[in-house]
Amino acid sequence: MPTEVEDAEILSKFQDEKTRNEAFNLLLKKYQQKIYWHIRRMVIDHDDADDLVQDVFIKVWKNLAGFRSDAQLYTWMYRIATNECITFLNKKKQKNNVSLDDVAYELADTLADSAYFSGDAIQRKLQEALLTLPEKQKLVFNMKYYDDMKYEEISQVLGTSVGALKASFHLAVKKIEAHLLSKD
C-alpha cells in the first residue's frame, strides 16, 4: 500500500516548474475528498459542493507558490474552503433575499431529497439540527465532530481563540441535543 505523500514534499515539488503539475495532483489526491465533505456539510447540495471544491482548488493553485509554511497546508486549505462556503451562503441569502432561517429550510428540503443523506432517521435529524445552528457553531461542530480537528487547528482556520471555539462547540452540542430530543 503506498504511503501518503508528506506536505513538505508536495510543496517542494510545487516550487519546481517541471514537477508543479505532479505536485498539484498529489495535493488533490490527498485533500480533495476531505475538502469536499467539509464543504458538502456546509452547503448540503452536491452540485454546489462540487463547484465550490473547484473554486477552492483554483485558489490553492494560484496562491500555493506564496504559501508560507508557518501554517499547516490543510489548515490553510480549510480556511480557503470555509471562506468560500461562507461567501456562497451569504450570496445565496442575498440573491434570494431571504433570511438565514429560510436558507436553512431550503437546505433541509434538499437534505430530505438527497440520495447521499439516505441514512437512518437519527442521521437525518442530526443534519437537520445542524442546519438550525448559527454559521460559526455549525463550522466548529463540523470540524470537531466530522473532521476530528483539534481546537488549535480550528483556531487557525477560523482565526478565533480556542476558548471561544470550545464555547461555540458546547453551545452547538446543547442545541443539537435539544433538537434530537424534540418530538417533531
Q: What is the CATH number of the domain that holds 28?
A: 1.10.1740.10
Whether residue 84 is found in the same domain as residue 33: yes
Assess whether 92 and 138 both reside in one domain: no
Average pLDDT value over all residues in the chain: 84
Q: Does residue 1 sit in the same domain as residue 92?
A: yes
Does the structure show a pLDDT above 50 at 118? no
Side chain identity at residue 12, one-letter code: S
Angle CA 57–72–53, to nearest 5: 20
> What share of the chain in percent tops pLDDT 90?
54
In a domain, 23, yes or no: yes
Q: Give 104-116 pLDDT, tens digit per residue.
A: 555 555 555 554 5
Q: Are residues 60 and 125 in the same domain?
A: no
Q: Into how many domains does the chain fold?
A: 2
CA nearest neighbour of 20 among 34, 33, 10, 30: 10
Are residue 84 and residue 47 in the same domain, yes or no?
yes
Q: Which of 98, 130, 158 is the last residue of a domain?
A: 98
Residues 72 and 124 in one domain: no
| 147 in the same domain as 182 | yes
Same domain for 86 and 167, yes or no, is: no
**Checking phi first, is residue 98 left (phi over 0); if not, alpha (psi -120 to 50) or beta?**
beta
- 176 pLDDT band, cuts 50/70/90, is confident
Query: What is the rounded CA–CA span in Å between residue 180 and residue 174?
Result: 10
181 or 161: whose pLDDT is higher? 161
For 124-135, the pLDDT digits (tens) are 777 788 888 888
Contact 78, 38 (CB under 8 A): yes
Q: What pLDDT score does 93 carry?
A: 74
**Mean pLDDT to the nearest integer, 73-101:** 81
Burial of 61 (0-12, 13-18, 19+ CB in 10 A): middle
Residue 95 CA to residue 79 CA, distance in Å, equals: 24
Q: Provide the whole-model pTM.
A: 0.76
Summarised one tens digit per residue, pLDDT across range 25-43 is: 999 999 999 999 999 988 8
Residues 77 and 14 in one domain: yes
Cα separation, 166 vs 184, whole angstroms: 29
Instruction: Return the C-alpha torsion angle 18, 22, 28, 30, nearest 10.
Output: -120
What pLDDT is attached to residue 180?
81
pLDDT band per the 50, 70, 90 thresholds, residue 90: confident
All three cell numbers of 50: 462540487
pLDDT for 48? 92
User: Is residue 90 assigned to a domain?
Assistant: yes
What share of the chain in percent tops pLDDT 70? 82
Over residues 50-60, mean pLDDT: 96
What is the span of the domain harbouring residue 183? 119-184
Same-domain check for residues 6 and 58: yes
| Same-domain pairing of 92 and 19 | yes
Give the CATH number, domain containing residue 181.
Answer: 1.10.10.10
Task: Kindly tell me if the per-residue pLDDT of 166 is higher than 80.
Answer: yes
Residue 126 inside a domain? The answer is yes
In angstroms, the CA 57 to CA 77 distance is: 8
Q: Are residues 92 and 131 in the same domain?
A: no
